[in-house]
Chain A
Amino acid sequence: MQAVREGSDYLLQMQGICKSFSGIPALSDASLRVKPAEVHALIGQNGAGKSTMIKILTGAYLRDSGDITFNGATANFTTPQRARAAGISTIYQEINLVPFRSIAENIFLGREPRRFGLIDWKRAQAEATRLLAGFGIEVDVRKPVMECSTATQQMVAMARAVSVDAKLLILDESTSSLDDREAERLFGVIRQLKAEGRSIIFVSHRLDELYAVCDHVTVMRDGRTVADSPMRDITKMDLITTMLGRALEKVILPAAQAHAEAPAEAGAAGAAAMAAPFLDIEGVSAPPKVRDATLSVRKGEKVGLAGLLGAGRTELMRAMFGADPSRRRAMRIDGVEVDLRSPLDAIRAGIAYLPEDRKAEGIIPGMSVRENLSLVLYPALSRRGVIDRKKQDEVVQRFIRRLGIKIAHPDQPIRELSGGNQQKVLLARWLCTNPKLLLLDEPTRGIDVGAKAEILGLINELAREGMSVLMTASELEELVAAADRVVVMSDGSTTHELAGGQISEAAIMTAMAHDPA
């Protein structure tokens, strides 16, 4: 690998970057400086500008102003191909691989080794196997990528970056869908890449991870760079404070306090209501993932659904919502037997479902914020098939205000919003229908601390007002903070239940690890 040209300490320098969308500034005078052979963390709230910064670096967007220097030369990447050719590779959260093609094909896509003009698959496969072995992975490189786990797919994407000799790799939220063991393996690969002299920009919301693997951190807030420091010189508390611009205590604690106070309140005033289950399911099975699940959610109760990746939490929620066919011994709402066969049935029964993957199952990308927000409510907003624009505008404005969604105006295309704001729009989509039960699948995935606290606070408020909530979260500390009761799933069945004081990260992990008694 080439050494960085002399006269510069930095592999990458971005200074004074500005970018606006529809008149709203996403970046104002942002900067980022990465040294060679450095693992550099890039953190900030959603909407702080991290993704925009990266898209400008990789040529997906064009900056309005500012300078970029890469590898000693001025860089003006007008297309992603140019950035890749210069040695910058990105591994996105939504992995850019061709699902039907094999691992080897994906690694060499567009650069297949040739022999006498024909593609030399033997060499491609051997090379691909070697690359992945270098990461400590043994897998059949002829397997289609879609049959691999997310963790393996990420390794494939990184192997591709290494095979093009990338000098700078950008890992965008790579660990969101990984469990601890897989994340640790990823860190091993990162350390190895660093030893090879490559640099890595690591974008993540999981602050603990940063201390495990990063050397340096850049914090962004509201489109500006607000901190640029070696990892060892800044504490986690400082990071959060810098990201939010105010102390964490003021943000997380009120939510936690409200949670602590709530049982006392509920105990006094709503004991009767708390006792009656709103939703009761027994023996739900939805092959292949859900085997035998039983749980109940009371009015105003927040139930956390915990389990390892693959335990069947998402599949259970989908079955409860009628999105997948299922069999069950019993399903009761408010004590009455129901048979929900489709999402429409569930919606009419007062159930709402916020899916895990907002890009694939949440937003309608071509539509505006207003349309996405009103999607479920449309039938109620129309008279004899014609939509009542005034009513629609009123509802939309009300919920934009209530959830604090940051947009230029309601007709802005939803794909221009940050992940956190998109999630708020999706939440508003359901809240405006006044549901009685909220099924939230990873509601805070890929969302920063500030928005997370807002959403968790909102969930608390809704529960206090009588809404039942069933939520999953891979970050156990969220479940511990938010849930009144935790149901643990393992291999498709509900195995344990923890209530009140029993709930702790350790207890949940123990339950996840053990087979049912």
Chain B
Amino acid sequence: MRPINIFEQISNMNSKFHALLSPAPSKPANTSRLARLAQLPRVWLALAALLVFNIAFTDNFLTVQTFNVNLTQVATIVIVALGMTLVVATGGIDLSVGSLMAIAGTLAPLLFLGIGGPAGLLAAFVLPLLATTLCGCFNGWLVTRWRIQPIVATLVLYIAGRGIAQVMTNGQLQTFSNPGFQWIGTGRVLGVPVQVIIMLVLVALVAWVLRATLFGRYVLAVGGNERAAALAGVPARRVKLTVYALSGACAGLAGMIAIAINSSSDANLVGSGVELEAIAAVAVGGTLLTGGHASISGTLVGALFIQLMRYTLLAHGVTEASALVVKSAIIILAVYLQRRG
């Protein structure tokens, strides 16, 4: 089977999504192609550079397998980062996403194992999502009703959420084999893993919402200047509550995908560290943590960049431990360059 050219695939994705995901340009459209290339956000160029490096120096890079492995690993982070981007766009932050993944990832097996059959399966898809969305509403309630700073408000579930997940299972590991449920983690459609499709669909959907819907513009207005937005009739509190709920929903979905891939659910480990990965993807992608501006394409590319970097380091024999240090250094560099740009 001919290894599919990664560059082709990426550049196809690029042109399809660039049009969909970039904000309306404020510069005239007839600049030279080289000039336009230079105007691309730095993180795209960084990703391209990393790809070129890998194509040149990494064995077996241009294979479907590599493509699938990387996209699979990054899918859950991107899904969480989508919700995170919305929250950050309003000037907030959501530290609870990892713990919410644990709640969803712990609840689902309890349902399809405990209830069993098609009813159990349905419950296992619906109830964990509902649960994490409600947790998101709780976060939003603390932020809007009690005016608690988002970092503190979401810290509550960051700490308590994992505890709740552990109480649900008595701290026990759950292992299972349920093809119906695990389809979202291990299934494929036309050779592409299901979670990758889910990821791409959600990316396109959220980007569209931010660009073309009333809600999306309200999110950016609230993040840009909440007082002005409120005086202009924007329902700021409702908008903020909604983004936290959406972030919870994203985390729930990601949690279910994560345990589906692993065929096991450990309340201690599911989603561990994901909140920081998601924030890193958002920051590297160019969305300002102060709010008012959001780049969904940036978040996607940011997550891809971080994932590819981890893969590159591993493929070249850098140990996991050192890889973490190198990764952090490169993230700092990436954010620094973004700000200078």
Chain A residues with CB under 8 Å of chain B are 22, 321, 323, 343-344, 347, 353, 355, 360-368, 371, 375-376, 378-379, 382, 385-387, 389, 409, 411-413, 429
Question: B293 to chain A: which residues have CB within 8 Å?
Answer: 366
What are 18 A-to-B residue pairs whose CB atoms are below 8 Å? Answer: A343-B233, A344-B235, A353-B231, A360-B227, A361-B225, A361-B231, A362-B228, A364-B292, A365-B292, A366-B224, A367-B292, A375-B232, A385-B215, A386-B212, A386-B213, A386-B214, A387-B214, A411-B25
Name the one of A22, A343, A367, A412 contacting B231, with C-beta atoms under 8 angstroms: A343
Name the one of A364, A379, A389, A413 contacting B225, with C-beta atoms under 8 angstroms: A364
Whole-angstrom distance between the Cβ of B199 and the nearest chain A Cβ: 23
| Cα–Cα, bound, A344→B228 (Å) | 13
A376/B221 in contact, CB under 8 A:
no
Name the one of B213, B229, B231, B234 contacting A323, with C-beta atoms under 8 angstroms: B231
B220 close to chain A: CB less than 8 A: yes
A-B contact count (CB 8 A): 78
B229/A364 in contact, CB under 8 A:
yes
B233/A347 in contact, CB under 8 A:
yes
Question: A353 to chain B: which residues have CB within 8 Å?
Answer: 231
Whole-angstrom distance between the Cβ of A309 and the nearest chain B Cβ: 21
Contacts A343-B233, A412-B26 given; does A364 touch B228 at CB 8 Å:
yes
Whole-angstrom distance between the Cβ of A86 and the nearest chain B Cβ: 25
Question: Which 10 pairs of residues, A with B, have the shortest CB-CB distance?
Answer: A364-B224, A366-B292, A382-B214, A366-B224, A347-B233, A375-B232, A364-B225, A376-B232, A344-B233, A411-B26
Question: A362 to chain B: which residues have CB within 8 Å?
Answer: 228
B217/A343 in contact, CB under 8 A:
no
| Cα–Cα, bound, A482→B235 (Å) | 34
Chain B residues with CB under 8 Å of chain A are 24-26, 212-215, 217-218, 220-221, 223-225, 227-235, 292-293
Question: B225 to chain A: which residues have CB within 8 Å?
Answer: 360-361, 363-365
Question: B26 to chain A: which residues have CB within 8 Å?
Answer: 22, 368, 409, 411-413
Question: B213 to chain A: which residues have CB within 8 Å?
Answer: 382, 385-387
Contacts A385-B213, A385-B214, A412-B26 given; does A376 touch B233 at CB 8 Å:
yes
A387/B217 in contact, CB under 8 A:
yes
| Cα–Cα, bound, A352→B228 (Å) | 13
Name the one of B24, B212, B214, B221 contacting A364, with C-beta atoms under 8 angstroms: B221
A367/B214 in contact, CB under 8 A:
no
Question: A378 to chain B: which residues have CB within 8 Å?
Answer: 214, 217-218
Known: A375-B221, A386-B213, A389-B212. 11 other contacts (CB 8 A): A343-B233, A353-B231, A362-B228, A363-B228, A365-B225, A375-B229, A375-B232, A378-B217, A379-B233, A385-B214, A412-B26
Question: A368 to chain B: which residues have CB within 8 Å?
Answer: 24, 26
Whole-angstrom distance between the Cβ of B246 and the nearest chain A Cβ: 14
Whole-angstrom distance between the Cβ of B294 and the nearest chain A Cβ: 10
B214/A361 in contact, CB under 8 A:
no
Looking across the interface, which residue of chain B has its beta carbon closest to that of A382?
B214
Name the one of B25, B220, B233 contacting A366, with C-beta atoms under 8 angstroms: B220
Name the one of A360, A367, A389, A411 contacting B224, with C-beta atoms under 8 angstroms: A367
Name the one of A360, A375, A385 contacting B234, with C-beta atoms under 8 angstroms: A375
Question: A386 to chain B: which residues have CB within 8 Å?
Answer: 212-214
B217/A371 in contact, CB under 8 A:
yes
| Cα–Cα, bound, A321→B233 (Å) | 11
Question: A429 to chain B: which residues have CB within 8 Å?
Answer: 232
Of the listed residues B24, B212, B217, B231, the one surrounded by the most CB atoms of chain A closer than 10 A to its CB is B231
Whole-angstrom distance between the Cβ of A24 and the nearest chain B Cβ: 12
Question: B224 to chain A: which residues have CB within 8 Å?
Answer: 364-367
| Cα–Cα, bound, A343→B24 (Å) | 30
| Cα–Cα, bound, A412→B28 (Å) | 12
Question: B292 to chain A: which residues have CB within 8 Å?
Answer: 364-367
Looking across the interface, which residue of chain B has its beta carbon closest to that of A389?
B212
| Cα–Cα, bound, A22→B25 (Å) | 12
| Cα–Cα, bound, A387→B228 (Å) | 20
Whole-angstrom distance between the Cβ of B230 and the nearest chain A Cβ: 6
| Cα–Cα, bound, A446→B235 (Å) | 30
Whole-angstrom distance between the Cβ of B213 and the nearest chain A Cβ: 5
Looking across the interface, which residue of chain A has its beta carbon closest to that of B218?
A378
Whole-angstrom distance between the Cβ of B224 and the nearest chain A Cβ: 4
| Cα–Cα, bound, A344→B218 (Å) | 14
| Cα–Cα, bound, A176→B218 (Å) | 32
Question: A365 to chain B: which residues have CB within 8 Å?
Answer: 224-225, 292
Question: B25 to chain A: which residues have CB within 8 Å?
Answer: 411
Whole-angstrom distance between the Cβ of A358 and the nearest chain B Cβ: 9
| Cα–Cα, bound, A68→B103 (Å) | 64
Whole-angstrom distance between the Cβ of A317 and the nearest chain B Cβ: 11
Whole-angstrom distance between the Cβ of B209 and the nearest chain A Cβ: 9
| Cα–Cα, bound, A428→B229 (Å) | 15
Looking across the interface, which residue of chain A has its beta carbon closest to that of B26?
A411
| Cα–Cα, bound, A280→B202 (Å) | 51
